[in-house]
Amino acid sequence: AQAQLRIGICYYQLKEYDNAILELSDPLTEKLNSDDRNDADYILANSFYNLKEFDSASDAYKRILNNSPSEDMMNKIRYGLAWIHFQKGNYESSFKLFNLLAQSKDDSIALKSLYWSGESKRYEGKYDESIEIQKRFALKYPNHPLAESVRLNIGISKFSEDNFEASEESLLQAINSPDPIARSKSYTLLGEINLKKKDYSKAKSFFQNGINISQIPKELKDRCLLGLGVSNYYLNDNIEAIKNFNAINEGDTELDKSKLYFYRAEANFVLGNYSKSISDYNSIKAEDAQMTNNVSYGKGYSYFNLKDFGKSAYYFTEFIQNSSNDKKVNECQLRLADCFYAEKDFVKASTYYQRALINSDEFNNDERAFFNYAQSLFKSGSYTDAIKVLEQIQLKFPASSYADDSQYLIGWI
């Protein structure tokens, strides 16, 4: 039995957890004395934990509880069970155990447990309680390496509460951490905060600093690349923005891909790559009305610029139907009128020109649109109304070339 225990421990130290479990699950270990049996179950539980077999790990820990463990072993078991609860997302249960262990006489366990009790509250979404615990940790252990992580965690909590000013204050301290992961997280969040503040130059700088950290985790690197691309888009550097977006492996990312596709579509649109824009718009899985409307709007203009007026009209109509209160509705009615005009459907064209030009003051000075409106009325047989609009053009735009064309068309009618 002692041999089984020693072999199991060796396998555990070699990180061969499957073999450790095989040895320590052998019925021979039942012959060990009480303390050795507890040691065997403790190594067994940790082996299961490392393989993410949390239920089996929990069973092994609980066997020790029923076998009169020492106080030191009891603390180790509670710490292990707390971690199992944390890994399984049972943050309230993990907090209770970590909070209990924070009072332990074992300074090592007490220190780590105080820190993770704060993290349990943060993951539970109780940010104010988490921040209080984190501050208590920083006061009690100011020189401990985890004190650097506390600044980051407070920044994350404040970010989650949309308290960006306080979050930024903590994160600016955390970027000095010796831990590259902490620095990566800090730069990523600082970039995202400044995106929300529309300070795109500052956001770009933070995202670039994050990417420059060689040990940055992939998930954070993808967030920085996306943020960098969005920053460059708003800074009108669309070629660079597309490079940033294309550096993300779409098939292996935890990002919101709809956001990636949307901004890449927008950047390609500005560069005149309308077919590429449409391809990305089509890939978006819109989960809210605003994104749905933005996609309809973008596809409407992309097809319009490709002179596919039938499809363009379809998406402008979709936008108008779903966005009655949007400030871009009149603009889309004007574009819809242009689509019908190009398709020689002059009855519909005149209807939408009237809505965009007569029922709204937004395009009151668009002389081209007024002339097309008059032509639509004329070509649909509404001669009297056409003459009225043509006369209006002469009054509103006397210096325009359309004034002469209007006079000619009046004479023709």
Q: What is the pLDDT of residue 360?
A: 76
Long-range contacts of 56-64 (CB under 8 A, 24+ apart): 57/84, 58/84, 64/38
Nearest residue to 305 via CA among 27, 297, 283, 56:
297
Q: What is the pLDDT of residue 410?
A: 85
- Measured CA to CA, the distance from residue 312 to residue 328 in angstroms comes to 15
Q: What is the pLDDT of residue 400?
A: 85
Q: What is the pLDDT of residue 314?
A: 98
Instruction: Note the residue count of the chain.
Output: 413
| pLDDT, tens digit, 9 for 90 and up, residues 197-210 | 999 999 999 999 99
Q: What is the pLDDT of residue 161?
A: 92
Give the torsion through C-alpha atoms of 84, 89, 90, 91, to 10 deg. 100
For every one of its 413 residues, what pLDDT tens digit does the chain have, with 9 covering 90 and above?
A: 788 899 999 999 999 999 999 999 988 888 888 889 999 999 999 999 999 999 999 999 999 998 888 999 999 999 999 999 999 999 999 999 999 999 988 789 999 999 999 999 999 999 999 999 999 999 999 888 888 889 899 999 999 999 999 999 999 989 988 899 999 999 999 999 999 999 999 999 999 999 999 999 999 999 999 999 999 999 999 999 999 999 999 999 999 999 999 999 999 999 999 999 999 999 999 888 999 999 999 999 999 999 999 999 999 999 999 987 778 999 999 999 999 999 999 999 999 999 999 877 788 889 999 999 999 999 999 999 999 998 998 988 888 888 888 888 888 88
Q: Report the Cα 53 to chain-centroid distance in Å.
A: 30
Q: What is the pLDDT of residue 2?
A: 87
| pLDDT, tens digit, 9 for 90 and up, residues 9-27 | 999 999 999 999 999 998 8
- Measured CA to CA, the distance from residue 348 to residue 114 in angstroms comes to 70
DSSP structural state of residue 355: I
Q: What is the pLDDT of residue 364?
A: 85
- How far lies 368's CA from each of 241, 347, 382, in Å? 34, 18, 19
Expressed in percent and rounded to 5, the helix, strand and coil fractions of the chain are 75, 0, 25
| pLDDT, tens digit, 9 for 90 and up, residues 150-191 | 989 999 999 999 999 999 999 998 998 889 999 999 999 999
HSE of 273, CA atoms in CB hemisphere, 13 A? 14
Q: What is the pLDDT of residue 385?
A: 93
Q: What is the pLDDT of residue 148?
A: 82
What's the chain's average pLDDT?
94
